[in-house]
Amino acid sequence: MKEMTINAAVPVDMPPPFEGRHLIDGAWKASADGAMFERMSPSHGVVVSRSALGGVPEAQAAIGAAKRAFAAGAWSRISGQQRAGILLRVAELIESNVERIALLETLESGKPISQSRGEVSGAADLWRYAASLARSTHGDSHNTLGDDMLGVVLKEPIGVVSIITPWNFPFWILSQKLPFALAAGCTVVVKPSEMTPSSTVMMGELLMEAGLPAGVCNIVLGHGQPVGSTLSTHEDVDMVTFTGSTAVGKMITQAASGTLKKVALELGGKNAQVIFPDANLEDAADAVVFGVYFNVGQCCNSSSRILVHEDIADSFVERIVALSRDVAFGDPLDPETQVGAIVTPEHNSKIHAYVADAAAAGAVVVLGGAPMDVPGLGDQFYQPTIISGVTADMPIAREEVFGPVLVVQTFRTLPEAIELTNATEFGLSAGVWSENVHTCLAFAKAAQTGTVWTNTWMDGYPELAFGGMKQSGQGREIGHYGFEEFLEVKSVVMRIGRTRTSWVKTRDETREDIVTQ
């Protein structure tokens, strides 16, 4: 039997550690107390970045700068054409800096360099689409309210927005939020994950080069406590948009409730691909393998479980096991590598705990099932893992593992497949594989998820909104609906001419009425 495909370390000259600082009111600043933190590469075991460690003073200063910039109107009140021009310039600069940004992202996150390049270069399209929305957004008018009335609905920027991003797609997810907030005319404060701060700092450099006015985008580096909590509770913040775990999303919602600010959340998922016997099984197997191993499985959209019709379950599992052995795990700096390192040793242990628990409960580990050593790089990797014989009550079937672990369940009928798909607290995405359009449409209508893919997996476009149901979040990102999250709606009611009938009569008019009566 073929062993797993492992790419050993490739010789490479490491760049010097990246120095990251806060961006506040158009200036790069160290922390007031001089505190710093380091990020060790999960794949190469060297320090790859040193960043200013922010606290409450830096967060408050950034919020103040954003509030002043919004009130001044140098961004919030300029034309959509002007805002679009800056966003388009940012897109060009992103494409000119792909290699520099992708390298740091790979070293900080452990993801393969080929995927970092795709993430960074692809983000430019999000900025271009947001630029188009900056010019095309509009309200409504109502001229059917009567000859003497006109109603106008305006759409205005919501104000100061806190953007809190995760470590797994730091540049991409920032680009799902930031350009849309800017296109709407908002000012922002960004807090990236402390594990992957550098690509966000690089984004700040591009924004300044593109000519974004000072204070419109501010960046504060540091931990959720106290930076993230300050950005979630401060009374001068009008909205918080967060991507991360469901547990932290609930904390942010609670923290923000004191000021009733708007909260948009993109959280976890336990996403299923459903495979029917009439599907193109070759394409389905390839999509399953991609869906579970992409970004080392550390992806909210990971297809971490498959529901396979019992008539084809054994043969289909054999097919994906064979494909999994061909997936290249190993050095993220090797362009041929498809799966890199796990972000932290603690997370590696958490992944293994789920696998061990399932095996102890009677599930069968068909492939992998343990941490993995890569020659020259160490053991902060996890084997491609496939587990069958999983029942719906097992934690690994219901909870987000966030690693390269695939759970296999079986079904007999479409209603049973739908029931299993919906049998989690999450509702981010799902997929269905069948050549029968009626099967696909019936599944798509019944799946309790924000996205349903049919005969594909994880295809996405800036035009299509992204977000989840149930405990996978609230609100939407990207597309027209994602853009609308950053806008307030205001109704303006106008009377034309002096046609209003007086409600209060004068004293003389009242006496005259009495005499008449």
**Residues designated as active site:** 266
d(CA 326, CA 318): 13
End-to-end C-alpha distance for the chain, whole angstroms: 106
283: part of which helix (H) or strand (E)?
Answer: helix 281-293
d(CA 131, CA 144): 33
The beta-carbon contacts of 112-115 under 8 Å, at least 24 apart in sequence, are: 112/332, 112/334, 112/335, 112/337, 112/338, 112/339, 112/340, 113/332, 113/333, 113/334, 113/335, 113/337, 114/335, 114/337, 114/338, 115/294, 115/295
Nearest to 485 by CA among 495, 473, 494, 497: 473
Nearest to 400 by CA among 475, 471, 478: 471
d(CA 174, CA 295): 17
441 phi and psi angles, rounded to 5 deg: -70, -40
Nearest to 305 by CA among 425, 408, 429: 408
Question: Is the bond into 197 cis (omega within 30 degrees of 0)?
Answer: no
The residues, ordered by sequence, that sit 6+ positions from 272 with a Cβ below 8 Å of its Cβ are 303, 305, 306, 307, 420, 421, 430, 431
d(CA 290, CA 169): 16
Nearest to 268 by CA among 287, 290, 292, 243: 243
Q: Look up tokens 């995760």; give the residue.
A: 166
The residues, ordered by sequence, that sit 6+ positions from 365 with a Cβ below 8 Å of its Cβ are 355, 358, 359, 385, 386, 387
